[in-house]
Amino acid sequence: MAKSTSPKKVDELSYEEARAELESIVAALEEGNQKLEESMALFERGQALMKRCNDLLEGAELKVRALSGGELKMFEEAE
């Protein structure tokens, strides 16, 4: 999280924003250049972002199910 401004609240992020921030956190943690406290803060934010992404995906799945009559159907390839 190299931004100088304070990050948005996790529950205000779109799926794309949350996923992008999560990817940057993973990269930062893989580098391992933070102090323990910073690493823990990044990890906690990453956990919250992962939950946000999961919740948004579940919500999208519910909408698709509702629109398709309650079941998900596989897309068929055009021949």
Q: 22-78: per-residue pLDDT in tens?
A: 999 999 999 999 999 999 999 999 999 999 999 999 999 888 888 888 776 676 777
The boundaries of the domain holding residue 43 are 13-67
Q: What is the CATH number of the domain that holds 26?
A: 1.10.287
Residues 6+ positions from 34 with CB-CB distance below 8 Å: 28, 42
Judge whether 28 lies within some domain.
Answer: yes
**1 is a domain residue:** no
DSSP code string of 22-66: HHHHHHHHHHT-S-HHHHHHHHHHHHHHHHHHHHHHHHHHHHHHH
In this structure, is residue 4 part of a structural domain? no
> What's the structural domain count of the chain?
1
